Chains A and B, each alone.
Chain A
């Protein structure tokens, strides 16, 4: 992990409030691994003060992409940034997914799609089968579903309002496929991961969860992003963000407003 100045190549608003940004940084793009993230300084001013962590969503040549929803001061600034602008970015950071030679089940909820998209591309390259379950509030919140459909024909979607796919929760949709023959990966909001953890526990299965949390340093120094595991409090930034589901004791709370939200 190092600090780089990366040029913003492009910002695409793919749905109202949802953005995909492409940055040019050969160093980050060439070393990034699924599950890792970048820590972006969104302002030269003292406010917003803290960097914002974003999962690496996709890597292509010398460029990498992040996906975000505008919900705080940091993402507001990023969404307005002009192509060509240079950003101070630390990355790639963190312990990513361990990928095994097995067919995989991926369960994404909302913005949890970001690291799992990168993961799916990697698994596809290895030639392993992917079952992708993707849940969102409604059609308006489904991002990248067409792109995922190109990676795997086994994409199943659930929306809470039933506007696309099954009406209901993605965890229920995925449940029958949570079996020992698959490597299981998930990323999503706290209630989804909690529900999934319970299902897995009942079946005696383990999975890899990518967690998000408020973060200050992003390098393992401040202990601000701690999550409770069977080893006490571990740092989401460098001990994670990917943790084995059976080790997680309590999940970081999903953000409800300003004050540390991206």
Chain B
């Protein structure tokens, strides 16, 4: 029997395949397909202190082997999560992790504190990397100092494990990862989307209402693998790797580069069952390569 349980700091996952925030709603949208307990964890849609309307449409556009999105964190807000969305998960077996975004350190702390004793929640992902909002978001995640301060403050506000989600839109992501580690993060997740843009040549206008958006999907995978590999060498805390994963082979690349667990995002849109197929493929790969435990392959990239 192959052991696929992994630990992201104090957070223990039954398997390393999770679904990324923003692609899986509030945990109930895909219930007619399969039980979320089959996943290592579900990262819920990012929430802010107050509900947000989100950006003006169009919000998505397909690109070669990827997509741009500029949803703009449309969400039900902290109260909506506490009163409506989390209670809806009461009888749904699974590991659920909130994703939080604040416009200030104080807001991050307020949300983290309120979620501390929330039901059906196993951890908090701290979103300092959304490229589609004007206040907060990526503005924090491009600064090591801000990332450190937010992580430290959130750490003090909650007993839940915290994972800091990093943006790839920086010169040196290892610097930001180290800041999150120093701030007390249990783990870092990377990468969020790459800032991109697409133009409608007939109208000569940007395709997205927000003008720019975040690029995701297979197109960004090599960038993500490179960044996971760099961060693995720079920090001791575990890495949740993501960015364009749509098959088990993609996932293995991330484990070899140093990820302890992975997230599937855009691929869920193409195939809601992709995460389950990926997990099956990971087990087969481990078995074929005579590994009994997934942890045996993490960070085993050979660089010579």
Docked Cα-Cα span, A152 to B64, in Å, equals 44
Chain A, range 108-150, C-beta contacts under 8 Å to B:
none
Interface-side segment among B112-120, B223-231, B270-278? B270-278
Verify if B60 is at the interface (C-beta below 8 Å from A): yes
A259 in complex: contacting residue of B56, B71, B207, B271, CB < 8 Å? B207
Are B64 and A220 in touch, CB under 8 angstroms? no
Are A213 and B57 in touch, CB under 8 angstroms? yes
Verify if A242 is at the interface (C-beta below 8 Å from B): no
Are A260 and B32 in touch, CB under 8 angstroms? no
Chain A, range 7-62, C-beta contacts under 8 Å to B:
41, 46-51
Chain A, range 60-89, C-beta contacts under 8 Å to B:
88
Count of B interface residues, CB-CB < 8 Å:
42
Interface-side segment among A155-163, A169-177, A225-233? A225-233
B193 to chain A, nearest CB (A): 13
Known: A221-B25, A228-B57. A46 touches B217 (CB 8 A): yes
Known: A48-B62, A222-B25. A233 touches B54 (CB 8 A): yes
Docked Cα-Cα span, A49 to B59, in Å, equals 16
Kindly list chain B residues whose C-beta atoms are within 8 Å of the C-beta of A252.
57-58
Are B57 and A3 in touch, CB under 8 angstroms? no
Docked Cα-Cα span, A256 to B207, in Å, equals 10
Chain A, range 232-262, C-beta contacts under 8 Å to B:
232-233, 250, 252-253, 256-260
Verify if B74 is at the interface (C-beta below 8 Å from A): yes
Known: A222-B22, A233-B53. A47 touches B272 (CB 8 A): no
Are B29 and A219 in touch, CB under 8 angstroms? yes
Interface-side segment among B7-15, B149-157, B195-203, B282-290? B195-203
Are A46 and B23 in touch, CB under 8 angstroms? no
Verify if B165 is at the interface (C-beta below 8 Å from A): no
Are A50 and B58 in touch, CB under 8 angstroms? no
Are A88 and B271 in touch, CB under 8 angstroms? yes
Verify if A1 is at the interface (C-beta below 8 Å from B): yes
B225 to chain A, nearest CB (A): 15
Verify if A99 is at the interface (C-beta below 8 Å from B): no
A222 in complex: contacting residue of B58, B62, B200, B269, CB < 8 Å? B269
Verify if A105 is at the interface (C-beta below 8 Å from B): no
Are A222 and B217 in touch, CB under 8 angstroms? no
Verify if B167 is at the interface (C-beta below 8 Å from A): no
Docked Cα-Cα span, A165 to B69, in Å, equals 42
Are A221 and B58 in touch, CB under 8 angstroms? no
Verify if B178 is at the interface (C-beta below 8 Å from A): no
Are B201 and A260 in touch, CB under 8 angstroms? no
Kindly list chain A residues whose C-beta atoms are within 8 Å of the C-beta of B192.
none
Kindly list chain A residues whose C-beta atoms are within 8 Å of the C-beta of B266.
49, 216
Verify if A223 is at the interface (C-beta below 8 Å from B): yes
Verify if B24 is at the interface (C-beta below 8 Å from A): yes
Verify if B268 is at the interface (C-beta below 8 Å from A): yes
9 smallest beta-carbon distances between A and B, as pairs: A221-B25, A224-B60, A221-B29, A46-B218, A259-B61, A46-B65, A216-B269, A256-B202, A260-B61
Q: Which residues of B contact A (CB under 8 A)?
A: 22-25, 29-30, 32-33, 45, 53-54, 56-67, 69, 71, 74, 198, 200-203, 207, 217-218, 246, 266, 268-273
Q: Which residues of A contact B (CB under 8 A)?
A: 1-3, 41, 46-51, 88, 90, 213-228, 232-233, 250, 252-253, 256-260
